[in-house]
């Protein structure tokens, strides 16, 4: 049985006019979310310059991204719990402030070690955004329809950041150097920080925590670290290597310890009772499948465009602009469907449309035009967009208000792990299918020439055909995974839902 929150009387100073500021609250958290996600995408463009300046190898530079991912995975649930218990505005502002500081330090980094330390600081701070921002919106927008619209619009900022990262990063790096991608966060971050101080009202859970679940946080962090590490480095180490198996073992052992601790903790960092709510579990499962298929397939698009179509990084980024537009168009449409159509039907339809978009990629070949990429990307983004509000709203609606931050951190974890899992899975699949197809095509091909140059061209054409064919296979598998996600959405049925959200204003 899901607890139902009761409405508390509003303070006398909270006037109807003050409620008009809620859309400023939405804009405020969008600025924070956009900046944090933009930082993740924009830094990847700077890695070649960083490698040159620091005189490091590509493998060593990879730890700049890996350290960021690990710290983010560990601290998302910690911030979610702290936001619910200490105050979402306090934690949001604290995280934002530390993120600005970390950005300034990263812009001044002098070697690989200092860069990794400063990126970890950035990541720890940036991981506070998702759970606190979602909880702030959930208690700011009290009606079901407005809350779904706000959460949907806010969610679209994730994709917008991924699209604009290459567009903003390329010119910055070319004209001002790699340090500019960190230093640009300072003025934008200060604006976002001022907006948070001005517009966001403090909200805390009605039930205050007596102590923090440190052992739960530590064991969950250890399990997530091992899992994310092997997903990030598995293709380099080898999935059957000793390092990978140590990570598998550590993930299972620490997960088991974490579950035992949470069962006995009076105030767990992740309330395991959430997983007794069918709508919550089924929404997480749908999110995992969808984001695994989408991230696993779509991360290959820029690679395909640059490898086979001759695009540079900036041109590849332009291909994603219509995708961002489609996502931002679809998000409010999905929000408007709240209360009019059952959420599982909306999620089923949106997931199916997203799967169709990914499926269309399987027809890409070296003769494809920009439109052949833009069209499927837009279809996929539109499908994902109009179901995003429903998914996020369900998580906020079926758990007690005082635990929205924790629940949203679980949703963030599932999406992040699904994306990492999809990239690892489909990256490995691409390599294996390419190797298989080279052998198959070679066995069924004949060359009627003894010229060495003709033989080299013959081998090159076989490899090219195998690579293109492998991309088609990966996109087919990715779309099949998303279609499976559409089927699983049928079981997302909300039997008990909070229709009124209370907020304690300080």
Domain chopping of the chain, boundaries: 25-212+267-505, 213-266
Evaluate whether 192 touches 93 at the Cβ level (below 8 Å). Answer: no
User: Would you write out the chain's pLDDT as a tens digit for each of its 506 residues?
Assistant: 334 343 333 433 344 335 568 888 888 888 888 888 787 777 877 877 888 889 887 667 777 877 787 787 778 778 877 877 788 888 889 988 999 999 999 999 999 899 989 998 998 888 888 778 878 887 888 776 777 777 777 877 776 776 677 678 778 887 888 899 899 889 988 998 999 998 888 876 555 555 677 788 888 888 888 887 888 788 788 889 999 999 999 999 999 998 998 888 877 877 788 888 888 888 888 888 888 888 777 778 877 887 888 887 667 767 877 887 787 788 778 777 777 788 888 889 999 999 999 999 988 888 899 999 999 999 998 888 888 777 777 877 787 776 777 777 788 778 878 877 887 888 888 888 888 877 877 666 666 666 666 657 766 677 778 888 888 898 999 999 899 989 988 888 766 554 443 333 33
In whole angstroms, give the CA distance from residue 160 to residue 162.
5
Query: pLDDT value at position 23?
Result: 82
Buried b (16+ CB within 10 A) or exposed e, 274-298: beebebbebbbbbbbbbbbbbbbbb
Burial class (CB in 10 A: 0-12, 13-18, 19+), 169: buried
In whole angstroms, give the CA distance from residue 482 to residue 287.
10
Query: pLDDT value at position 329?
Result: 82
Query: pLDDT value at position 470?
Result: 87
Does the domain at 25-212+267-505 match CATH 1.20.1250.20? Answer given as yes
Contacts of 48 by beta carbon, 8 Å cutoff, 6+ apart: none
In whole angstroms, give the CA distance from residue 177 to residue 122.
20
Evaluate whether 488 touches 391 at the Cβ level (below 8 Å). Answer: no
Is pTM beyond 0.85 here? no
Q: Which residue(s) pair with 504 in the sheet?
A: 204
From the list 159, 177, 235, the residue with the least C-alpha distance to 45 is 177
Q: Which residue(s) pair with 203 in the sheet?
A: 505
In whole angstroms, give the CA distance from residue 401 to residue 101.
31
Query: pLDDT value at position 341?
Result: 82
**β-pairing verdict for 504-505 and 203-204:** antiparallel
Q: Which two tokens stand for residue 169?
A: 């990063």
Contacts of 56 by beta carbon, 8 Å cutoff, 6+ apart: 50, 112
Evaluate whether 392 touches 152 at the Cβ level (below 8 Å). Answer: yes
- Phi, psi for residue 204 in degrees, rounded to 5: -135, 160
From the list 410, 351, 347, the residue with the least C-alpha distance to 380 is 351
In whole angstroms, give the CA distance from residue 328 to residue 313.
23
Q: Which residue(s) pair with 204 in the sheet?
A: 504
């Amino acid at each position: 049985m899901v607890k139902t929150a009761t409405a508390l009387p509003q303070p006398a100073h909270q006037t109807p006019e003050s409620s008009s500021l809620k859309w400023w609250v939405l804009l405020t958290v969008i600025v924070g979310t956009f900046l944090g996600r933009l930082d993740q995408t924009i830094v990847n463009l700077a890695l070649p310059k960083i490698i040159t300046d620091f005189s490091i190898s590509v493998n060593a530079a990879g730890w700049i991204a890996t350290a960021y991912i690990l710290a983010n995975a560990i601290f998302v649930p910690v911030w979610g719990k702290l936001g619910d218990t200490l105050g979402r505005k306090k934690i949001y502002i604290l995280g934002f402030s530390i993120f600005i500081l970390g950005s300034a330090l990263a812009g001044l980094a002098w070697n690989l070690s200092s860069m990794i330390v400063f990126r970890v600081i950035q990541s720890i701070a940036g991981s506070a955004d998702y759970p606190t921002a979602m909880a702030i919106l959930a208690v700011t927008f009290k009606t079901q329809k407005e809350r779904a619209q706000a959460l949907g619009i806010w969610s679209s900022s994730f994709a917008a950041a991924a699209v604009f990262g290459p567009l903003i990063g390329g010119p910055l790096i070319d004209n001002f150097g790699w340090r500019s991608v960190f230093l640009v966060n300072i003025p934008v971050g200060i604006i976002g920080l001022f907006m948070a101080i001005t517009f966001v009202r403090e909200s805390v859970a009605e039930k205050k925590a007596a102590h923090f679940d440190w052992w739960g946080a530590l064991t969950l962090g250890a399990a997530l670290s091992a899992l994310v590490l092997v997903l990030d480095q598995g293709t380099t180490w080898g999935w059957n290597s000793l390092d990978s198996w140590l990570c598998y073992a550590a993930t299972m052992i620490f997960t088991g310890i974490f579950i035992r601790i949470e069962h006995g903790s009076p105030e767990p960092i992740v309330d395991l009772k959430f997983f007794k709510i069918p709508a919550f579990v089924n929404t997480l499962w749908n999110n995992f499948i969808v984001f695994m298929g989408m991230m696993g397939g779509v991360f290959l698009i820029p690679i395909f465009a640059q490898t086979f179509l001759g695009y540079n990084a900036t041109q590849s980024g332009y291909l994603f602009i219509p995708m961002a537009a489609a996502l931002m168009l679809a998000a409010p449409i999905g929000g408007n469907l709240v209360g009019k159509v059952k959420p599982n039907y909306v999620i089923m339809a949106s997931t199916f449309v997203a799967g169709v978009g990914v499926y269309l990629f399987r027809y890409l070949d070296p003769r494809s035009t920009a439109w052949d990429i833009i069209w499927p990307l837009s279809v996929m983004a539109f499908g994902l967009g109009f179901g995003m509000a429903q998914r996020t709203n369900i998580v906020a609606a079926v758990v007690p208000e005082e635990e929205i931050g924790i629940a949203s951190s679980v949703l963030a974890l599932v999406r992040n792990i699904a994306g990492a899992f999809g990239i690892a899975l489909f990256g490995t699949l691409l390599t294996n299918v390419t190797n298989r197809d080279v052998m198959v095509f070679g066995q069924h091909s004949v060359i009627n020439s003894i010229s060495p140059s003709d033989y080299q061209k013959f081998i090159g054409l076989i490899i090219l055909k195998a690579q293109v064919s492998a991309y088609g296979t990966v996109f087919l598998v990715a779309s099949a995974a998303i279609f499976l996600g559409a089927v699983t959405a049928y079981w997302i049925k909300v039997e008990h839902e909070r229709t009124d959200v209370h907020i304690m204003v300080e």
